[in-house]
Homo-oligomer: A and B are copies of this chain.
Amino acid sequence: MQKITALQHHLKQQQVDAAFITHPDNVFYFTGFRSNPHERLLGVFIPADGESFLICPQMEVPDAKEFFSGQLIGHVDTENAWDKLVSSFTVPVAKLAIEKSHMTVERMEFLESRIQGVTFSGIDDVVTEMRLIKTEEELVHLRKAAELADYAIEVGCSLIAEGKTEMEILSEVETAVKAKGADGMSFSTMVLSGLKTASPHGTPGNRKIQKGDFILFDLGVIVNGYCSDITRTVAFGEPTEEQRTIYQTVKEAEVKAVSLVKAGVFAKDLDKAARDIITSAGYGEYFTHRLGHGLGISVHEFPSIHGENDMALREGMVFTIEPGIYHPEVTGVRIEDDVVVTADGVEVLTKFTKELLVLDV
């Protein structure tokens, strides 16, 4: 309830009557209740002054009760959940704060039609700011999630063998990590081999591992609602000289960026440091994405670590550092760690080695 109280403080300052929070990750942040409502309505109503409530599908009320001690309102498929929401408001609402980056136009128009004279403001920045700095309790979950991500890479490497498919390895890795206590994966696990590594968002399939392949693992696990995200690229059999050069360039860029992390440093300077190394090596055109992204309840959240972000890092921010080179004719390589900004430097959550592993054929 502490987080709700903090939000109420902001609502009073902004002279808003209430906030209606609907992003499932934010609902989890404020209530501890995680649910994917699909197209159904899930939200927390938080008045500046007064009683908050959680509205969710009726069938989820028993589960929600275990996490949220406030009022619970269930809705069934045969009633209009939005009408029920509006009629449950615990205070009069003339100014309503919504997550403009999550609420759809349809839902806003619906609320507009049901709440006479209502005006909307965005609460996105306030919630983002709250979630940006992780508490020690959140860091405990993030450390555990990173530990399991390391374990998943270890398992993945042990499974590489000639003729095995990407999907076979992927499935066994997921099985192992779930058996070890992961609640689930942060996103669709990626196991890419050969030149498929050069597609930064490629799809694992039935391609069989061959001698000379690089194999790229990109995966994350969820522990107690918090995500990790790791990438490692390993060689199956002796790499070519250019493959080695690409690997070492990415590694150097990654290590450099990690070493610069510290409260007060600008996000864009991390991106620049890594990019400069890759560009100097002649591979600049093949590093086609930003350096990293925030990590927490969502696998992609603030801060965004890119070349135009002149935000100064602060203690408690958590994000990925993941430079890559995607050369369509040689190989793709990406190395990704999860880091926490500390007062005087950095805590690296993912610990799997970044030395080039050359696995025996």
The chain A residues found within 8 Å of chain B, CB to CB, are: 35-36, 38-39, 57-60, 62-63, 76-78, 98, 100-106, 108-109, 120, 122, 124, 167-168, 170-172, 174-175, 178-179, 181, 183-184, 187-188, 199-203, 206, 288-290, 299-300, 304, 306-308, 326, 328
Contacts and interface: CB of A to CB of B under 8 A. Distances in A.
A95 B59 CA distance: 41
A288 to B, nearest CB: 4
Contacts of A122: 105-106
A322 to B, nearest CB: 12
Contacts of A306: 77-78
A124 B101 contact: no
Nearest to A122: B106
A36 B290 CA distance: 17
A160 to B, nearest CB: 17
Nearest to A124: B106
Q: How many copies are assembled? A: 2
Contacts of A174: 171, 174-175
Nearest to A98: B105
Contact of A104 (B58, B101, B201): B101
A168 B98 CA distance: 40
- Give the top 7 A-B pairs by smallest Cβ distance, nearest first: A171-B175, A77-B290, A100-B106, A100-B105, A59-B288, A59-B200, A101-B106
A56 to B, nearest CB: 10
Contacts of A172: 175
Given A77-B304, A77-B306, A104 B100 contact: yes
A201 B35 contact: yes
A124 B202 CA distance: 29
A20 to B, nearest CB: 12
